[in-house]
């Protein structure tokens, strides 16, 4: 399962057309692409993550190496890059002509910053459940034109992802500061541990955010989850949130709509 989730994220990070993760992603306010990624395995609660990683792909593989090759959970910034190089990855340019053009537009028209910060962000979060063994992983370049060094929820265990075979796994995407404050993924897994279905637990987390963090109505914050027995769901604070499931055969697309507090 871990290999499958990693392979999916490696492919997504390498796709230059996917602007919110990996190659060609939205840069920070100085034009540099900074990546965050994380992985967690529910059988033993092991986890690994990297944040503010520059010039290295795939970030998810580096996060997995942190989990498997060190006694730590997270390595940050320049030291994460050095760690990746020590383990065999080479520095590369992650910019594309399109990502450079988006940054040029940002420099010329500062009002674009507002537009991007509120609309251009995204994350690929993947959850897996194989016979009750759950795994969660996530990769992102975070908010477009963020302050250099800014880290969102995605690489934070408990916020961007969480996995525990006793209950299930959860992941988040959207406005990282709000999701982090809510410990959104851990909260959702705790909901399932207390007997809720995955959908009920996602709804509960989103309602909590709408109640306690009203700012989360301004930019979509989504959580999704798979319970130990395989039932799954998702919920969002604003707009609609599309997500895909695969239980064999063709992948299925689903969509959930914003909840009321
Ligand atoms: N959660 C990510 C972050 O705040 C961005 C996103 O998922 O859209 O870094």
174-187 pLDDT, tens digit each: 999 999 999 999 99
For residue 146, give the ligand 1 atom closest to its CA.
9
Residue 123 annotated in active site: yes
Instruction: Give the pLDDT score at 17.
Output: 87
Instruction: Give the pLDDT score at 110.
Output: 65
Q: Which of 74, 29, 30 is nearest to 53 (CA)?
A: 74
The DSSP code sequence of the chain is: -HHHHHHHHHHHHH-TT-TTSSTT----TTS---EEEEEEETTTTEEEEEEEE-S-S-HHHHHHHHHHHSS-SEEEHHHHHHHHHHTT--------HHHHHHHHHHHH-THHHHHHHHH-EEEEEEEEEETTEEEEEEEEEEETTPPTT---STTSBTTTEEEETTTEEEEEEE-HHHHHHTTHHHHHHHHHHTT--HHHHHHHHHHHHHHH-GGGGTS-EEEEEEETTS-EEEEESSSEEEEEE-SSSS-EEEEEEPPP-
- pTM for the model: 0.95
**Which tokens hold the place of 64?**
């997995």
Instruction: Please give the distance, rounded to the nearest whole angstrom, from the Cα atom of residue 146 to the centre of ligand 1.
Output: 11
C-alpha 45/C-alpha 165 separation (Å) is 8
Instruction: Give the pLDDT score at 119.
Output: 58
Instruction: Please give the distance, rounded to the nearest whole angstrom, from the Cα atom of residue 156 to the centre of ligand 1.
Output: 11
Other beta carbons within 10 Å of 24: 24
33-89 pLDDT, tens digit each: 999 999 999 999 999 999 999 999 999 999 999 999 999 999 999 999 999 999 999
Supply φ then ψ for residue 124, to 5 degrees: -105, 115
For residue 142, give the ligand 1 atom closest to its CA.
9
Instruction: Please give the distance, rounded to the nearest whole angstrom, from the Cα atom of residue 236 to the centre of ligand 1.
Output: 13
Instruction: Give the pLDDT score at 116.
Output: 53
Count of alpha carbons within 13 angstroms of residue 19, beta-carbon side: 17
**Which tokens hold the place of 169?**
């796994």
Kindly list the protein residues whose Cβ atom lies closer than 6 A to any atom of ligand 1.
121-123, 140, 142-143, 152-154, 173-176
Instruction: Please give the distance, rounded to the nearest whole angstrom, from the Cα atom of residue 122 to the centre of ligand 1.
Output: 5
C-alpha 146/C-alpha 27 separation (Å) is 8
For residue 125, give the ligand 1 atom closest to its CA.
7
Supply φ then ψ for residue 238, to 5 degrees: -150, 140
Instruction: Please give the distance, rounded to the nearest whole angstrom, from the Cα atom of residue 76 to the centre of ligand 1.
Output: 17
* Smallest CA separation from ligand 1 atom 4, residue: 176
Catalytic residue among 46, 70, 119, 123: 123
For residue 160, give the ligand 1 atom closest to its CA.
1
Q: Which of 183, 160, 135 is nearest to 35 (CA)?
A: 160
C-alpha 188/C-alpha 168 separation (Å) is 9
Instruction: Give the pLDDT score at 105.
Output: 84
Cβ atoms 68, 41 nearer than 8 A: no
What is the C-alpha radius of gyration for the chain, rounded to an integer number of angstroms?
Answer: 17
Instruction: Give the pLDDT score at 222.
Output: 97
Which of 121, 183, 185, 221 best tests ligand 1's pocket when mutated (most atoms within 8 Å of CB)?
Answer: 121
Over its length of 261 residues, how does the chain's per-residue pLDDT go in tens digits? 999 999 999 999 999 988 878 999 989 989 999 999 999 999 999 999 999 999 999 999 999 999 999 999 999 999 999 999 999 999 999 999 988 988 888 888 766 666 555 556 679 999 999 999 999 999 999 988 899 999 999 999 999 999 999 999 999 999 999 999 999 999 999 999 999 999 999 999 999 999 999 999 988 999 999 999 999 999 999 999 999 999 989 999 999 999 987
Which of 59, 136, 142 best tests ligand 1's pocket when mutated (most atoms within 8 Å of CB)?
Answer: 142
Which of 20, 35, 140 best tests ligand 1's pocket when mutated (most atoms within 8 Å of CB)?
Answer: 140
Instruction: Give the pLDDT score at 117.
Output: 53
């Amino acid at each position: 399962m871990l290999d499958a989730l990693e392979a999916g994220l490696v492919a997504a990070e390498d796709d230059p057309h996917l602007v919110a993760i990996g190659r060609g992603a939205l840069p920070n306010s100085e034009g540099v692409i900074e990546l965050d990624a994380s992985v967690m395995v529910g059988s033993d609660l092991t986890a690994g993550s990297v944040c503010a990683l520059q010039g290295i792909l795939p970030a998810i593989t580096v996060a997995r190496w942190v989990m498997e090759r060190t006694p730590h959970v997270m390595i940050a910034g320049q030291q994460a890059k050095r760690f990746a190089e020590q383990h065999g990855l080479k520095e590369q340019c992650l910019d594309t002509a399109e990502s450079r053009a988006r940054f040029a537009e940002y420099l010329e028209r500062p009002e674009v910053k507002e537009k991007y910060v509120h609309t251009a962000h995204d994350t690929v979060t993947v959850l897996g459940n194989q016979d009750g063994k759950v795994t969660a992983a996530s990769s992102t370049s975070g908010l477009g034109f963020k302050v250099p060094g800014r880290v969102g929820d995605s690489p934070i265990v408990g916020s961007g992802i969480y996995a525990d075979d006793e209950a299930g796994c959860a992941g988040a995407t959207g406005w990282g500061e709000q999701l982090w404050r809510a410990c959104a993924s851990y909260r959702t897994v705790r909901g399932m541990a207390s007997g809720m279905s995955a959908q009920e637990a996602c709804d509960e987390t989103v309602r909590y955010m709408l109640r306690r963090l009203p700012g989360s109505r301004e930019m979509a914050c989504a959580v999704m989850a798979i319970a130990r027995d395989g039932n799954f769901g998702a919920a969002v604070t604003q707009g609609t949130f599309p997500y895909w499931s695969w239980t064999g055969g063709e992948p299925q697309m689903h969509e959930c709509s914003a909840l009321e507090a």
